[in-house]
A and B are shown apart, each in its own frame.
Chain A
Amino acid sequence: MSILEVQNLTKKFGGITANQDVSMTVEKNSITAVIGPNGAGKTTYFNMITGVYQPTSGTILLNNEKLNGLKPHEVSKKGIARTFQNIRLFSEMSVLENVLVGMHTHIKAGLIGILFNLPAIRKEEKASEVKAYQLLEYVGLAPLLNEKACNLSYGAQRRLEIARALAAKPTVLLLDEPAAGMNPKETNELTQLIKKMRQEYNLTIILIEHDMKLVMEISEHIVVLDHGEKIAEGKPEHIRNNPKVIEAYLGSGAVQAG
């Protein structure tokens, strides 16, 4: 059963066409990878799905519901969460607070309740803190709960972004280059984490990644973009040997080097 349906998505920035008629169907509880060389339009594609950019044309359907025209926070409410290629944490806030912001939609407290510090609000806040802490335990950052987010190591920041996204209780999770800047050991741990997350949180995951080992290991479906267009799509073993993909990804003449 498909959960996300993207139809003919096009995005133009003035003269640049960042995405041209890109379509894809994402199966529920699957892991899909979007790959392609730098500047291919992958991040732009994510930005359109999450409402950061409005597509020039095309449709995005989540469970057959149109997402076009929604603001990013409304898309988040519909159940799509994401991480960012250039890490976007709330750097001056503590690690735990970062995760708590992720819970924003699920914390019911209103102006009056907060002002009068009603018992129900206090209880909700305490429960949220515990939940946030559990998410930190899940990604292995629990001992750093009171640390400022900007003081974390690169790999830890990436994991914090994942914990924060999980806090929003998404059904679809978009990861933009989650392994970028990680060493092989960290990448390996991340691979395991992604697999585990999909299982335990019943997630549908779409990820942009350059690390081909990771991509081939965990994805069931791969979409390849080049110059804003989809040049191939299919199972990993299918994509691995596609000459068009090899050429786009490595550039002509680089085939033997790879």
Chain B
Amino acid sequence: MKSLWKKYKQNKLVQGILLLIYISITSLSLFMAQKSVTAFLLLLSSLLLLYFTNFKNLTKWLIAGIVLVFLLPFTASNGDAYQSYMEVATLVGIYISMALGLNIVVGMAGLLDLGFIAFFAVGAYTYGIFATVQASNFMPFGTFPLSGESFWLFILIGCFVAALFGILLGIPVLRVKGDYLAIVTLGFGEIIRIIFNNLDRPVNITNGAMGIPSVTPPRLFGIDFLYPSQFYYIVLVILLFTIFTVRRFEHSKIGRSWKAVRENEIAAQAMGVPLVRTKLMAFAIGASFSGMMGVVFAAKQAFVDPTSFTLLESITILVMVILGGMGSVPGVILGAAVMTILNLQVLTEVTSWLNQLNSTGAFSIPDALSPSKMQRLIFGLLLILFALYRPKGLLPAKNHVYNEKELQEGSAKENKGKQEVMPDHSQIEKAQEV
């Protein structure tokens, strides 16, 4: 058995064939079945299988692209549950982006932030206010709602406004550390939500607790985006952008300075890393991912109200990061996907299954104990289990492995170059003799 596993781990061909079989079976069953969550989830998890193959990065991205862009939407489109699957997939994408943003702040820079959902709210309200008549209450010029074409611009605006809020939050907050930072950010998250909740007087900006209804849908080439199956593609593009961005930063001067600050502030500063700037950059970049997704969320729901941005949401995203593996990009992606699916699919499925049992009278369970109401309990249990048995998460963070041979050669080459520039003494002596 073990040797078989070893062979599998080394043989790319076998991996490829198995992956192909797996993807074909799951997508075929998703295509044939009228409504099978299992098939849908199994097809999604083919990406995990893909992650563990030995293929080149480019190959992996290509295969993932084919599965996500064509296979998943196409095979799901055959059943009645098409839109609900796409809704789940869209939300998974939104949460992954946010978790990746929080991962920069918490995982890489080591700043515990319990109010992260605030930046999502800022993005959502930015679009929500201007894509409805709401803005005409306080804007002296312009006609509102803005057209659906403005949505694309608003993704950028949401990104910048959230980054700005990240910096505004950062400036006062960075004087405190550790537990205090957590408390202050928690307060900030709540303050933002309460402000949005109360900003209907004296000037009605956010429409308060009533929320902002009928947000204009995005529009491209005359087509309105109304269904989850359409938003899915918007989210996919932004998600791809976030993953690439995080990857770039992670292995650069900036990512290293985040980690250095996390590991030892005093040593980082002594090495020339500016503390405040580095932390603010983490806050701003992390927040910007959330801001973009906030804009998408507002457009997708066509409705924005403060109840979407509670402390529980901030905690949920934090749990995704911790579960997946703090500082680990693949880990956080997996953590966010698992948590979102657990939340949206598994818990609701189990609930409806229990309800069925209830109605047939086979089994009775009080309403208060229905699994979808025990979300917090389940998160809590998961956290405890992970803290005990897998403190570094599902896929723990790994350091970049540098190619020793390449560096050796580079070093040797440079040394040789130096010697040629500076002739050694024997040559000088010879020259003098001549």
Residue from A52, A91, A93, A115 within 8 A of B256 (CB atoms)? A93
Residues of A within 8 A of B248 (CB): 114-115, 117
A27 surroundings in chain B (CB, below 8 A): none
Q: How far is the CB of A217 from chain B (nearest CB, A)?
A: 27
The interface bits of chain B over 252-286 (1 if a CB of A lies within 8 angstroms of the residue's CB, else 0) are 11101101100110111111111100000100000
- In the assembled complex, the Cα of A115 lies from the Cα of B273 at a distance in Å of 19
Identify which of A73, A84, A121, A129 contacts B407 (C-beta below 8 A): A129
Partner of B254, one of A82, A102, A114, A130: A114
Provide the residues of chain B in CB contact with A130, threshold 8 Å. 407, 410-411, 414
Which residues from chain B contact A121 at a C-beta distance below 8 Å? 252
A2 within 8 A of B: no
Is A188 located at the chain interface by the 8 A CB criterion?
no
Asked if A101 is at the interface of the complex by the 8 Å CB criterion, the answer is yes
Are the C-beta atoms of B263 and A73 separated by less than 8 Å? no
In contact, B400 and A73 (Cβ under 8 angstroms): no
The docked-state distance in angstroms from the alpha carbon of A91 to that of B272 is 18
Complex CA gap A51/B23 in Å reads 59
Q: Kindly identify which residue among B266, B274, B399 contacts A97, using a CB–CB cutoff of 8 Å.
A: B399
Instruction: Check B270 against A82 for contact (C-beta < 8 Å).
Output: yes
The answer to whether A109 touches B252 (Cβ under 8 A) is: yes
Q: Which of B256, B266, B281, B407 contacts A145 (CB 8 A)?
A: B407
Chain A interface, >50% SS class:
helix
When C-beta atoms are compared, the residue in chain B nearest to A97 turns out to be B256
Q: Is the CB of A76 within 8 A of B411?
A: no
**A101 and B399: CB pair below 8 A?**
no
B interface size (C-beta, 8 A):
34
**Least Cβ distance of B256 to chain A in Å?**
5
CB distance from B191 to the nearest CB of A (A): 29
Residue numbers in A under 8 Å from B272 (CB-CB): 73, 76-77, 102, 104-105, 168
Contacts of B404 in A (CB 8 A): 143, 145-146
Residues of chain B touching chain A, judged by Cβ–Cβ distance below 8 Å, are 245, 248-249, 252-254, 256-257, 259-260, 263-264, 266-275, 281, 399-402, 404, 407-408, 410-411, 414-415
Known: A72-B266, A73-B275, A125-B253; 12 extra A-B contacts, CB below 8 A, are: A73-B274, A81-B270, A84-B267, A90-B264, A93-B256, A104-B256, A104-B257, A104-B260, A111-B254, A114-B252, A114-B254, A137-B411
In the assembled complex, 30 residue pairs joining A and B whose CB atoms fall closer than 8 Å, in A order, are A71-B274, A73-B269, A77-B272, A81-B271, A88-B264, A88-B266, A89-B263, A91-B263, A92-B259, A93-B260, A94-B400, A97-B399, A97-B400, A100-B256, A101-B271, A102-B271, A104-B257, A104-B271, A109-B253, A111-B254, A114-B248, A114-B254, A117-B248, A121-B252, A125-B253, A129-B407, A146-B402, A146-B404, A148-B399, A168-B272
